[in-house]
A and B are shown apart, each in its own frame.
Chain A
Amino acid sequence: QPLAARQAAELQSKVVPSKQILHSDNMEMEPETMETKSVTDYFSKLHMGSLVYSCTSKRKNK
């Protein structure tokens, strides 16, 4: 059947793809960088003075 053949060919030509098919949301981004704070940092700064003091005073006592 020539009509069927023609329509099958038409159908086939419809599936010739567009590059658009790949432009789904598959772009891969790099991770975010968050700024960090640490209790340990502040803690060590805060207590370093008194710690050093207590060590030196112990040594003096000896």
Chain B
Amino acid sequence: MTGTDTTGSTVATAAALALGDDALILSHRLGEWAGHAPVLEEEVALANIALDLLGQARVLLSLIGDEDELAFLREERSFRNLQLVEQPNGDFAHTIARQLLFSFYQHELYGELARGEGPFAPLAAKAVKETAYHRDHAEQWTLRLGDGTPESHGRMQAGLDALWKYTGEMFQPVEGLEDLDWAALEGRWLAEVTGVLDRAGLALPAGPRTGAWAAGAGRQGLHTEPFGLLLAEMQHLHRSHPGASW
């Protein structure tokens, strides 16, 4: 299935959904932090990142249809986001671990897309600047938590260890973006993440990069249990008023 973007070129629906859903769902998770952050500066920073991601999601989803219809009326099995981004926030270290793993991935991916000539290039050119900021934010906090106190070190390591099994999925080629060199992308991602963890005095998690039968299948619409609850909350109001505009 394909759609047409504003420039008239063909956009792979699967790719736009995959990237758009990643941004939409992670933005939602970060939005849950509002009013709960450890310092006021993080209220601002987390909301800022959430807004950037929501902006990306809106552009991507609009390439293939009505953004609200896609966000609020699809069921769980039709979402194409990574399982990583739907994981609950946990503590601040858990959230930062998720941000580190994802923002380094997203930065590499958008950098790649921005250099190409595909339909995602204009979006990626803008988004790559945002993801550079997200990456820096996650990196700085990983250093502070990893090389802070014994408690913060332990929590940061626990966050990384818990999320590691969701990282393999990021580098399975996305339909419509088969031309990308996914193996090279993964290599650069791993090198960069390893570099940050080294400097933070943290260990690269040792476990497998994909878990049980369904882990790593978010791109196929197979999600983890917390995701259904996220959608129930996100979609409830919109679904309660069919056909209404907001």
**Chain B binds chain A:** no
